[in-house]
Amino acid sequence: MENINLIETFSEFKELKNIDRATMMSVLEDVFRGMLIKRFGTDENFDVIINIDKGDFEIWRNREVVEDDKIEDPNLQITLSEAKKIDGDYEVGEDVTDEVKFLDFGRRAILALRQNLTSRILDLEKNNIYLHYRDRIGEVVTGEVYQIWKREILVLDEDGNELILPKTEQIPSDYFRKGDSIRAVVIKVEMRNNNPLIILSRTSPVFLERLFELEVPEIFDGLITIKKIVRVPGERAKIAVESYDERIDPVGACVGMKGSRIHGIVRELKNENIDVINFTNNIQLFITRSLSPAKITSIKINEETKRAEVYLKSTEVSLAIGKGGLNIKLAGQLTGYEIDVYRETDVEDDEDVNLEEFADEIDSWVLDELKSIGCDTAKSVLNLNVEDLVKRTDLEEETIKEVIKILKAEFE
């Protein structure tokens, strides 16, 4: 059979997903007609019949019967003597339909057509992958880790499509091996060098939002609204939620009974600390809630400069700032205000000593580490025990004990 070389290509085409039959037929016919135009100069007098299921096709040519000496275009006309070889009843002026044998095109033309057909199939498949994922931006997808490189991970979805998870979009503590199942959100889809490029992310706030939608039915159903999410991937996140139904406690619904709902999200995000905050339009109350777990004494708001001066007891300053300043940084991003933390002064604090006074006894990098957690005076350090200081700073226990010894000596 002369078209045996194309059957394999037909099978490849038939196996493609998300491609409707009409599109298949259109592309196949277009390729064949392109070959006819190249060979005969026109395809208007040809009928192309394609059977996708069998991988078979037929090409029929329609020509007008003319006198033997009046033929002008052998492609559009056929002599009466040639027509009578097909059927003795043909007369001048009638139309003759005869099959064009594919082998007559030559081996080179058949090979070129197969290559063209394969190329069109691949382009169609790439375009369908692009269109499929372009409509899924912001959705969580699950895939399998196929290959791990220095700057990115290649992930295969359930259909074998290639997705990319760059190193910059991975949580710092993420560790994957080939074959691991992975969840991430689609954040970018584009065509690059005629190939679909689907970028995933596990650090995007959208990923955290989608995880809450999956774990908390009230969010999925629209009973609870996520107003804003800010996060430092793998470290800490703050999420402001609101419910328009007074009977629903948005924070309680998100956390779940004994933390059942939020625990799954925390595990997925490699133990990222998540603070769920009840949203309010009262900016003072919102800032107070956003600085949790610190307890605030008073706040002064400057609407013009979008700054907030927050006053706390000495023991609460380090809690408000958080390890590495994360708590106050995220609170500022969540509320949209630049937050400045101040210690409330009292009689006891008057006797306090600024840490800078100990610069000749304690290394400057140690002092800087203590200041980063809100401890800028001797008593603010002494108010915390050794275990807390070890947990909140990157200092060694021996270093902290030596610092405490020096600070206590100041008050003895």
Q: Taking Cα atoms as reference points, which of 242, 237, 240, 331 lies closest to residue 292?
A: 331
DSSP 333-393: HHHTSEEEEEEPP-HHHHT--BGGGGTTTS-HHHHHHHHTTT--BHHHHHTS-HHHHHHHS
Average pLDDT over residues 354-364: 82
Q: By percentage, how much of the chain surpasses pLDDT 90?
A: 39
| Confidence label for 4 from pLDDT (cuts 50, 70 and 90) | very low
Ranges of each domain in the chain: 4-132, 143-201, 204-279, 347-411
User: Is the CATH code 2.60.120.260 the one for domain 143-201?
Assistant: no
User: Is the CATH code 3.30.300.20 the one for domain 204-279?
Assistant: yes
Q: By percentage, how much of the chain surpasses pLDDT 70?
A: 91
- CATH of range 4-132; options 3.30.70.20, 3.30.2130.30, 3.40.630.10, 3.30.1480.10: 3.30.1480.10
* Helix then strand then coil, % of the chain, to nearest 5: 45, 25, 30
**pTM across the whole model:** 0.66
The pLDDT tens digits for 171-194 are 999 999 999 999 999 999 999 888
- What's the gap between Cα 26 and its chain centre? 33
Q: Can you give the pLDDT at residue 138? A: 94
Give the position of tokens 């010894």.
405
Q: Can you give the pLDDT at residue 317? A: 84
CA 357, 360, 362, 365 dihedral sign is positive
Are 357 and 383 in contact, with CB atoms under 8 Å apart?
Answer: no
Give me the helices (H) in 16-106, please.
21-40, 80-86
Q: CA triplet 186, 191, 192: central angle to 5 degrees?
A: 110
CA distance 69 to 72: 9
Average pLDDT over residues 218-225: 92
Q: Taking Cα atoms as reference points, which of 332, 404, 338 lies closest to residue 366?
A: 404
Query: Is residue 61's pLDDT more than 50?
Result: yes
